Amino acid sequence: MKRLKDKVALITGGAAGIGLETARLFLSEGARVTLVDLHDDDLSDAARDLGSPDGLLTIAADVSSVEDCKRYVAQTLETFGRIDVFFNNAGIEGKVAPLADQKIEDFDRVMAVNVRGAFLGLQHVLPVMTGQKCGSVINMSSIAGLKGSPNVAPYITSKHAVVGLTRAAAIEVARHNVRVNSVHPSPVNTRMMRSLEEGFNPGRGDEVKQQLAETIPLGRYGESLDIANLVLFLASDDSAFITGAQYPVDGGMAAG
């Protein structure tokens, strides 16, 4: 039995990394999927990578824009008629620097994508789900939403804010049978982590990666599929009694 049979899933930041791998898993579990990302060419590459299946819609949009948000929700509804699962995943890492040296423009951009973008997504998707009397939202936070670490204060701030957003939204919509949870990965092998590794020590990203992996109790980075498997659980009816919760998927990192 496919776990997302007859469901429609909307994934932001879906053209790469964790979002793309989650789309692949969702499609294999019977969902129809909308991928939202910034650029048409990246979305075309992603669609090809997924085998251009029926039941895949791609929409170029910036999640931090009110107009774009309205449009990606409206186009999903026009095409598929409903939204059962919302993976609120798009995010950026910001710059690596001590808090005192961070540029306020960079802080604003990280908050615009990671917090405002997640908030806008909820604003436009939740009314659809409460109207349906069912739905599951998975907000992408991070281990950086549970713990502090040096030199990435804007990112840490934004990912902690996603926890507040998750709890606030979960309580508001629970009576409508809509669930909202957050996931908290430790470093995962994607473009974002490669950029952070280089930011921490330019030209020596591989060494940074090795050092970081050693801080993870299971001794390795996560793979996108490790995260997608948790997102699938939270998207499916297997998690029907779970809402407002924060799920580490971190090789044990949050336990230490």
The distance of closest approach from Cβ of residue 175 to ligand NAI in the complex, given in angstroms and rounded to an integer, is 28
CA angle 221/119/247 to nearest 5° reads 35
| Cβ proximity to ligand NAI, 91 vs 251, nearer residue | 91
Residue 246's H or E segment, with its range, is strand 246-249
> Which residue, 173, 152, 140, is CA-closest to 22?
140
* Amino acid in position 240: A
The distance of closest approach from Cβ of residue 83 to ligand NAI in the complex, given in angstroms and rounded to an integer, is 17
- What does the alpha-carbon distance between residue 27 and residue 36 come to, in Å, rounded to a whole number? 15
| Cβ proximity to ligand NAI, 32 vs 159, nearer residue | 159
Q: At what angle do helices 117-132 and 66-80 cross, to 10 degrees?
A: 30
Instruction: Indicate if 247 belongs to the active site.
Output: no
**Sites of contact with ligand NAI (CB under 6 A):** 12-13, 15-19, 36-38, 62-64, 89-92, 113, 117, 140, 142, 185, 187-188, 190-193
* Amino acid in position 37: D
> Which residue, 128, 129, 214, 146, is CA-closest to 183?
146
The distance of closest approach from Cβ of residue 187 to ligand NAI in the complex, given in angstroms and rounded to an integer, is 4
> Which residue, 58, 78, 152, 159, is CA-closest to 117?
159
The distance of closest approach from Cβ of residue 92 to ligand NAI in the complex, given in angstroms and rounded to an integer, is 5
- Do the Cβ atoms of 11 and 89 come closer than 8 Å? yes
| Cβ proximity to ligand NAI, 59 vs 173, nearer residue | 59
> Which residue, 104, 103, 114, 140, is CA-closest to 11?
140
| Cβ proximity to ligand NAI, 63 vs 178, nearer residue | 63
| Cβ proximity to ligand NAI, 8 vs 192, nearer residue | 192
The distance of closest approach from Cβ of residue 201 to ligand NAI in the complex, given in angstroms and rounded to an integer, is 16
List the catalytic residues. Answer: 155
